[in-house]
């Protein structure tokens, strides 16, 4: 089915470890996003990519890096995980005004 695919669905990291969250969309959308969701905080934008080859910081970019590998793929990297990065991460793409979200990655940093 068309949509946004995120991997992994769950991950536990130790403080200081690194990992990359993968995201791919098959809807030929230009814009892709990474959000984190914490209780009571709503979704907060980490990074976004308006088109292939471009990336920009969102509201909470510290501790993260991104790569827009091609039009389909937009990855999020944690270089040195911290407990404050424990969260649910959602990738999304957008066409006109509707977001399509991936199913999320539940990340715990211990």
Partner 1 sequence: RKEVEQDPGPFNVPEGATVAFNCTYSNSASQSFFWYRQDCRKEPKLLMSVYSSGNEDGRFTAQLNRASQYISLLIRDSKLSDSATYLCVVNSDNYGQNFVFGPGTRLSVLP
Least distance CB 74 / partner 1 (angstroms): 14
Residues 52-71, one symbol each (x = binds partner 1 by CB under 8 A, - = not), give ----xxxx------------
Sign of CA dihedral 8, 26, 42, 65: positive
Q: Is the CB of 9 or the CB of 15 nearer to partner 1?
A: 9
Regarding 74 and contact with partner 1 (CB under 8 A), the answer is: no
Regarding 48 and contact with partner 1 (CB under 8 A), the answer is: yes
Separation between Cα atoms, residue 24 and residue 82, nearest integer Å = 25
Among 5, 11, 17, 45, binds partner 1 (CB under 8 A): 45
Q: Pairing state of beta strands 105-109 and 87-95?
A: antiparallel
Kindly state the tokens that stand for 92: 């999304």
Q: Is the CB of 17 or the CB of 43 nearer to partner 1?
A: 43
- For residue 77, give every residue at least 6 positions away whose Cβ sits within 8 Å of its Cβ, in sequence order, or none: 18, 19, 20, 21, 64, 65, 66, 67
Q: Is the CB of 1 or the CB of 40 nearer to partner 1?
A: 40
CA neighbor of 6 nearest in space, from 23, 18, 19: 23
By the criterion CB under 8 A, which residues form the site for partner 1? 33, 35, 40-45, 48, 50, 56-59, 90, 97-99, 101-104
């Amino acid at each position: 089915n068309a949509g946004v695919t995120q991997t992994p669905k769950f991950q536990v990291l130790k403080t200081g470890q690194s990992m990359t969250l993968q995201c791919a969309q098959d809807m030929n959308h230009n814009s892709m996003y990474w959000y984190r969701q914490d209780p009571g905080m709503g979704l907060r934008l980490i990074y976004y990519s308006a088109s292939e080859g471009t990336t920009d910081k969102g509201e909470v970019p510290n501790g993260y890096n991104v790569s827009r590998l091609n039009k389909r793929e937009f990855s999020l990297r944690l270089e040195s995980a911290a407990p404050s990065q424990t969260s649910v991460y959602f990738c999304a793409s957008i066409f006109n005004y509707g977001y399509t979200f991936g199913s999320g990655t539940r990340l715990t940093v211990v």
